[in-house]
């Protein structure tokens, strides 16, 4: 079963901000960032329990090529993305999100 993916508002904002940064550096880098985040969420869809549990029920899927991770939880038959977080900044700042 392929689970539906949804982003909480804060995660969507984080994604948009990172995309703007990489696009400003080089348009193709922004495109590569989008593809890498999509790949991470697709891996989570195909194998939702393969990513390690980081805290509580939250799992972490690394975004290949970029220093970001997608933090998500399994909610019924869907995947709820709680953060698109830079790996070297403010660990666990997202922990109060639902």
Q: Is 32 contained in some domain? A: yes
DSSP tag of 51: S
Q: Is 33 contained in some domain? A: yes
Q: Is 94 contained in some domain? A: no
Q: Is 15 contained in some domain? A: yes
What lies within 8 Å, CB to CB, of 97 at 6+ separation is 8, 10, 11, 82, 83
Q: Kindly provide the b/e burial profile for residues 68-89, where b requires at least 16 CB atoms within 10 angstroms of the residue's own CB.
A: bbbbbbeeeeebbbbbbbeeee
| pTM for the predicted model, two decimal places | 0.91
Query: Domain of 42: which CATH number?
Result: 3.30.2310.20
Rg of the chain on CA atoms, in Å: 13
Q: Is 98 contained in some domain? A: no
pLDDT (tens digit per residue) in 43-93: 999 999 999 999 889 999 999 999 999 999 998 889 999 999 998 888 777
Can you give the pLDDT at residue 38?
Answer: 97
Write the burial class of residue 58 (CB in 10 Å: 0-12 exposed, 13-18 middle, 19+ buried). buried
Q: Is 47 contained in some domain? A: yes
Q: Is 9 contained in some domain? A: yes
The domain of 18 spans 4-86
The answer to whether 63 and 14 have CB atoms below 8 angstroms apart is: no
Number of domains in the chain: 1
């Amino acid at each position: 079963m392929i689970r539906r993916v949804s982003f909480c508002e804060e995660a969507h904002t984080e994604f948009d901000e990172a995309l703007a940064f990489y696009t400003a550096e080089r348009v193709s880098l922004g495109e590569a960032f989008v593809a890498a985040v999509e790949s991470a969420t697709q891996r989570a869809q195909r194998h939702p329990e393969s990513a390690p549990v980081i805290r509580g029920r939250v799992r972490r899927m690394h975004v290949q090529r970029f220093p970001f991770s997608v933090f998500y939880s399994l909610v019924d038959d869907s995947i709820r993305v709680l953060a698109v977080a830079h790996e070297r900044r403010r660990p666990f700042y997202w922990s109060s999100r639902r």
